[in-house]
Amino acid sequence: MDPRYFGYEELQHTSKTAPPASLAGLGMMLPAPPLNVSQALGAALALGLERLEAQLLLLHALGRPAQERAWLLAHDTDPLPPAAQAAYGLGVQRRAAGEPLAYITGHQEFYGLDLAVDARVLVPRADTETLVDWAQEVLAATRQARVLDLGTGSGAVALALKATRPDLQVSAVDFSVEALAVAQANAQRLQLEVGFSQGSWLSGVQGRFHALVSNPPYIADQDHHLAALTHEPLQALASGHDGLDDIRTLVQQAPAHLLAGGWLLLEHGYDQAQAVRTLLTENGFSQAQSRRDLAGIERCSGGLVP
């Protein structure tokens, strides 16, 4: 899959390598000899996992923080406890089958925050930090600005904004009750005050905001890239024949919910920037423009209400 498509590089890996006989130690149904740290990592690499992924899975199985990769080097001959070996073996099998690493460990870092994630939400990724950076830029001069995150998922964007700008009045909406449960739990654990509500985009939202931000679904319904994302919630990925149905809705609804000079900022696919800028201009937004992600791809587009 083209990693430019929408930034899900870590979700692309699916091993096609059959486990060799020497990897019985990672089999969940077979009696297994104890493996040491080095052998366990080597077994995962033989299955096609990246070294970093294997290390993070092993640390997770051992109940150690993800920052302790150096510990694995210092203890490479230590035998794994049976329970940790079993948990690690299951994690390796799940990752080799294409499941996102964050779903297996239950955590994903985003904008310096440790977010809990599972299959109810998409895995937050670094590309979306471009959206947070831009929102901070447009809100920099406004104290206690009102901002609404639409389609919040795990709460990543809303929580990142609140964590970096405690004065902001941050609200977040999602259609999925299950996703909202994940987001609310993250907010409570991180002790960040964000108002969450269930709804379909801006329908039922009251008041006007200084900024509306969103990372909506933007893949075409029949796009072949979806085949590599079967572990993710489809409703958070696909959006009509060209991937722009939800973005069209947001662009049309947003002006009635923005203060004068307020911004609508949207994440989108790698080849959709021009189309989104056109939609913004056609719906009365001015200064329609785009921002590039760390890979230099136009990842977000936005405009302001005059």
CA distance 179 to 176: 5
Cα 201–Cα 129–Cα 199 angle in degrees, nearest 5: 15
Residues of the chain with pLDDT under 70: 1-32, 218-241
pLDDT at 27: 47
pLDDT digit string, tens, across residues 65-87: 999 999 999 999 999 999 999 99
pLDDT at 243: 72
Helix spans in 165-292 (H): 177-190, 245-253, 273-282
What is the β-pairing status of strands 286-292 and 298-304? antiparallel
pLDDT at 25: 47
* Number of residues assigned to the chain: 306
pLDDT at 284: 97
Q: Are 100 and 228 in contact (CB under 8 A)?
A: no
Q: Are 292 and 265 in contact (CB under 8 A)?
A: no
pLDDT at 230: 58
pLDDT at 142: 97
CA distance 128 to 72: 31
